Amino acid sequence: MMDVRKLDQHNWLTMDKNYMEEHQVRVRLLELERPKVFQCLPESREACTEALREVVTFLCERYPWMFEQTQTEKEMTVHNKKTGETFVFGGSNNSMEPLEVAVRLSMEDLSILLKNADDEYYLAASGSLFPVGWAVAERIGWTVAQLHSPVPLWREQVSASVSKFLARLTPESPMERSNYFVELKGPNEGLYSTLFRPDGLSEASQNPRARDIIIRRERQTFRKLPQSGALLFGVKTTLTPLDELPTEELHNLVREMGSWPEEVANYKGKDVWGPSVLDFCKQTIGLPQAGETSAV
């Protein structure tokens, strides 16, 4: 089952201290890896334009010290005070694809889902700059079921509930959920390579050190756009070193690890980083030694 909750609309798109550093990575990815991170099918144009207007309106109202917009009869201009960038859209002077403007302004990756002839949602447009184990160029046009086919137990335990969840979304009731991965940071690896993982998470070494283990959290949001009826899916990625996690989150991590079926544990790479995580948690929060509990 999906662990979803009602979205606090005041905090739909969030900003944090990493904005500028991550913005620079996003710009580089759009320049150097564009086909892998950005695709828009022709039929998504209307929904992408609507999504951009929703994003710009929200950002300018929620963060007026960072963004401002001006509107004429035919065009809208948005200015990013933080970066100095200005984008024009509407009319004949569009500077770039609407969805690209949206992912350049926000910290979220954004995707548009439309329904096909079989009443299934499919990926019609995506600016997914911080993917894990996939690239937009490979999966544009895929249905939700196809997108999740590599995930263990998806069809048996999750697929039906996801279909019902997406069908029940309304413009008035956006939702959110959280997801996370455990990944390893390679030697001298910078933010660009850590965030951009189209080939999957790094598993370069067995028994890695705690300082090389990263908790990669995704805050996923789901909105139904009122005019086009498309679904706007957002993903905000946050990286936290294992040795900086609060005690409560360490406890939660250990409990979560212990709940995984074998297929899920293998999919997430627990055999690579699991012993190091448990050893760190034993030393930090006093977990029982191996054999004293069946929880993990």
pLDDT tens-digit series, residues 57-105: 999 999 999 999 998 888 889 999 999 999 998 776 666 899 999 999 9
How much is the pLDDT for 293?
40
How much is the pLDDT for 296?
33
The dihedral through the CA atoms of 43, 13, 162, 274 has a sign that is: positive
| Residue 211 in this model has a pLDDT that exceeds 80 | yes
Where do we find the tokens 């949206």?
102
pLDDT tier for residue 206 given thresholds of 50, 70 and 90: low
DSSP 181-218: EEEEPPTT--HHHHH-BTT------SS--GGGEEEEEE
The domain ranges of the chain are 4-176+222-236
How much is the pLDDT for 188?
81
Chain-centre distance for alpha carbon 119:
25
Q: Please answer whether residues 96 and 88 qualify as being in contact, where contact means their C-beta atoms are separated by less than 8 angstroms.
A: no
Residues near 33 by beta carbon (within 8 Å), at least 6 away in sequence: 196, 198
- Per-residue pLDDT averaged across 31-55, rounded? 97
Residue-averaged pLDDT of the chain: 89
Token pair for 258: 């212990």
How much is the pLDDT for 153?
65
Sequence length of the chain is 296
Where do we find the tokens 């309304």?
170
How much is the pLDDT for 294?
34
How much is the pLDDT for 53?
95
% of the chain with per-residue pLDDT over 70: 91
Measured distance CA(225)–CA(54) in Å, rounded:
9
Give start and end residues of each alpha helix (H) in the chain.
19-32, 34-37, 45-62, 98-105, 136-139, 144-147, 159-168, 191-195, 247-259, 262-267, 270-285
How much is the pLDDT for 93?
64
Q: Please answer whether residues 186 and 204 qualify as being in contact, where contact means their C-beta atoms are separated by less than 8 angstroms.
A: yes
- At 129-183, the pLDDT tens digits run 999 889 999 999 999 988 887 777 667 767 788 888 888 999 999 999 998 889 8
**Least confident stretch, 153-157, 197-201, 259-263, 289-293:** 289-293
How much is the pLDDT for 176?
97
How much is the pLDDT for 5?
94
| Residue 263 in this model has a pLDDT that exceeds 70 | yes
How much is the pLDDT for 154?
67
Measured distance CA(137)–CA(267) in Å, rounded:
23
% of the chain with per-residue pLDDT over 90: 62
- At 3-22, the pLDDT tens digits run 889 999 999 999 999 999 99
How much is the pLDDT for 187?
77
